[in-house]
Structure 1
């Protein structure tokens, strides 16, 4: 059973994903973390990125994240190109992860662009994490010293929350950590029960 977990930038979806780690019968795949690893280790991705973004895409055999970010976050077409290069390899990697975790009750697939990349199509259930826009902006500006304008620009490249929420099975309001823990426990119990009837 695959459970997609998504949410806009600053919603705290990775924090929520980490709350699922305490459950021994759950495996968790953080797509963004694995994508970063693959962008540095996959020769297929490396070759395509250099062809698309030039030799500056890598410095000393490592991905030049600042250079790539400056290009894609101001250009929706280039961002789409980047995703088209990286996400097919992430999906292949995830399939291997699933095969290694067939003994688990369910697998959490955390992906910021779950809907945008059409990864929702292989999920049995979807959880969307959301927070108030002011909370999200505050979190991101504190996390990586982005400006408010930069955060809003990145938000424009993602689906709006209401569009995600309408297509989700479960919703977690992530404004307060204690409340989020309760919501995670509640959803986990439901998913564990559903697994029994599959």
Structure 2
């Protein structure tokens, strides 16, 4: 059974990778949103749930079984060690879930895996190509402040925890510029044609 090309797509907060993924989805390309799947698995995978409770306590979940995001966020956000522990529990589950998902789309020329921390988590390994969605920092800060209602300081703090834009761009196989001066759709169509031709 032939496997589709596996394309990773990433970009710093506010770069517009979700918008780019929506355009690919409109072209009929399946998109695996790793961050959403991770959140889902943290409440639906019984084994993972018990590991999280064991590591971070029962307060990690609310009485209705949903994740206590506020509590867990406070525990891991300022503690790199605890964040690493959480990632080591979650990432293997996501990797397994993603592998099954890829198999279910074996009829496609290519699929996309969207993840904010594609490089940082190591999940870029095993992918055929990486697209980085790029926008200048000042543009990204404005977008996130407007979208999430965070302060500029909060947005910059998140950015500092992510890999630098320069390093992401160096590692990219393809770059989509979302800087308000380049049209996105022609860039997506060009990559779409390129990946379709590879099959």
Is structure 2 residue 185 aligned with structure 1 residue 166? no
C-alpha distance 44-177 of structure 1, shift in aligned 2 (>3 A)? farther
Q: Which moved more, 1:120-129 or 1:47-56?
A: 47-56
Query: How far is 1:177 from its partner?
Result: 9.2
Secondary structure of 2:145's counterpart equals: helix
Secondary structure of 1:2's counterpart equals: strand
CA distance in 2 between partners of 1:14 and 1:123 (Å): 19
CA distance in 2 between partners of 1:86 and 1:177 (Å): 38
Query: How far is 1:86 from its partner?
Result: 0.9
CA distance in 2 between partners of 1:58 and 1:78 (Å): 17
Query: How far is 1:39 from its partner?
Result: 1.1
Is structure 2 residue 50 aligned with structure 1 residue 47? yes
Equivalent pairs counted in the alignment come to 194
Secondary structure of 1:107's counterpart equals: strand
Query: How far is 1:178 from its partner?
Result: 7.1
Q: 1:27-176 alignment to 2 at 5 Å?
A: 27-60=30-63, 61-176=65-180
Over the residues paired in the alignment, what is the CA RMSD in angstroms? 1.5
Secondary structure of 1:5's counterpart equals: strand
CA distance in 2 between partners of 1:82 and 1:150 (Å): 22
Give TM-score, length-normalised by structure 2.
0.91
- Structure 1 residues 71-94: Cα deviation after superposition (integer angstroms, max 9, x where no partner): 222222222222111111001000
Query: How far is 1:194 from its partner?
Result: 2.0
Misfit runs of 4+, over 3 Å: none
CA distance in 1 between partners of 2:157 and 2:81 (Å): 14
Give TM-score, length-normalised by structure 1.
0.92
- Given that 1:73 and 1:154 are in contact with CA atoms closer than 8 Å, whether structure 2 keeps it comes out as no
